Amino acid sequence: MLSACIFDLDGVIVDTASYHYLAWKRLAATLGFVFSEQQNERLKGVSRMESLDIFLEEGNIRITSGADKKVLAEQKNNWYMEYISQLTPAAILPGVLDFLHELKQHRLKIALGSASKNAGLIIDKLQIAGLFEVVVDGTKITKAKPDPEIFLLAAKALGVSPAACVVFEDAEAGVEAATRAAMASVGVGNPDILKKATWLIPDFKASAALDQVKKFLYE
């Protein structure tokens, strides 16, 4: 029986994914290459240092020093922090807040499963921390998506079985992680990227696709 929902953060609840891209693009400019939105898709749902490795690969830049990589990752994160420091509840994506409250009304447990190490700060800025029984972020995992660790930890912390969970994700790696965790998934966004999800919705605004998901969740 379904009893819990696990949400990714960036691109699902709030569009901080765009801030990540701006920070990566800014870092690319300092390294002498152009970083496209298409290339940025590979970074979604991936940990900070793994994202850096992919980013450097896309720019054909070889850096072997761990210390040098750490400097670049910290610079990117500092720029990202500049952008998210101005977040307010108005940044929550349309329909998300109503949907979270609706889940609560139906007595479903809610967890956050985000690779971001800044997840706690972001949900505090959005003033929605109290809606999550459990938060599993990048500070609590050792393996990045598509490894299922993050979702399995969330299920364990909620006290439910993986089969009782459904994951909401906007990244291909996140959908794969949900599948590996033996959880159903709802792909939020681009159907071409998220075609392996159990269900697909464009966003959390009213739609026939969202109605189908709700029917599954509440019945």
Active site residues: 8, 10
Neighbours of 144 (CB within 10 A): 19
Six-digit token string for 60:
């054909």
- What are residue 165's DSSP bridge partners? 4
Contact between residue 177 and residue 146 where contact means Cβ atoms under 8 Å apart: yes
Contact between residue 184 and residue 3 where contact means Cβ atoms under 8 Å apart: no
Neighbours of 11 (CB within 10 A): 21
Instruction: List Cβ neighbours of 160 (8 Å cut-off, separation of 6 or more).
Output: 3, 4, 109
Q: Return the HEC string of 94-128.
A: CCHHHHHHHHHHCCCEEEEECCCCCHHHHHHHHCC
Residue type, 127: Q
